[in-house]
Amino acid sequence: MRFKTLAAVAALATVSYAAQAHGPTRQKVSQTIEINAPADKVWAVLGNFQDASWIPVVEKTEGKGGNEVKASRVLTLKGGATVEEELAKYDAEKKTYMYRITKVDVKTLPVNDYSSTIEVEGDGAKSKVTWRGAFYRGYMNNDPPPDLNDDASKAAVLGLYKAGLDNVKAKAEKGS
């Protein structure tokens, strides 16, 4: 009887430890905006990987490789922080690209292993831009501090997406 009790306790401890050791799960977010401008005009605003000036927090973009896969860029943000990114896919005809953050301080953007896709779809004089991202929270271990947990990471990315897309809309609709 004692052996069965010990075995049950050991099994329960193993299950409990495994649940605690799970760590973070990949988060996915998406933001879409309707724009009163043709897709070509919208793509002209955000389609060049080497120009992230449409993102309001970006002060300057420096990069190499143009819009070729493996092209890189360093975004210098207002306040001086930097974000390093690499282009993974680019299709001008379909008006879409995918990139990854290769280096960022979690105090700047509370994420790890971040990848993102931007897509422009047109319907005559109107367009729809979708910006999707997948990432892990800023703190990769269990019990993250509030500023590095899943909710904080999602809120930071969605805030960035909203500000960026609102700015694309303003730029593309200007003069339309």
The pTM for the full model equals 0.86
Two tokens at 39?
A: 């897709």
Beta pairing partners, 100: 86, 115
CB atoms within 10 A of CB 104: 20
pLDDT score, position 149:
96
Contact 154, 124 (CB under 8 A): no
Give the domains, in start order, of the chain with CATH numbers.
Answer: 26-48+89-173 (3.30.530.20)
- Give per-residue pLDDT as tens, 11-53: 444 444 444 456 799 999 999 999 999 999 999 999 999 999 9
Higher-confidence position of 8 and 119: 119
Q: Three-state SS for 41?
A: helix
- Give per-residue pLDDT as tens, 87-103: 999 999 999 999 999 99
Backbone phi and psi for residue 113, each to the nearest 5 degrees, phi listed first: 50, 55
User: What average pLDDT does the chain have?
Assistant: 91
Mean pLDDT of 55-62: 97
- Give per-residue pLDDT as tens, 125-156: 999 999 999 999 999 999 999 999 999 999 99
- Residue with token string 């927090």: 57
Q: Report the half-sphere exposure of 95 (CA within 13 A, side-chain side).
A: 18
Two tokens at 66?
A: 């143009």
pLDDT score, position 130:
98
Q: Rg for the chain (alpha carbons), in Å?
A: 21
pLDDT score, position 23:
79
pLDDT score, position 146:
96
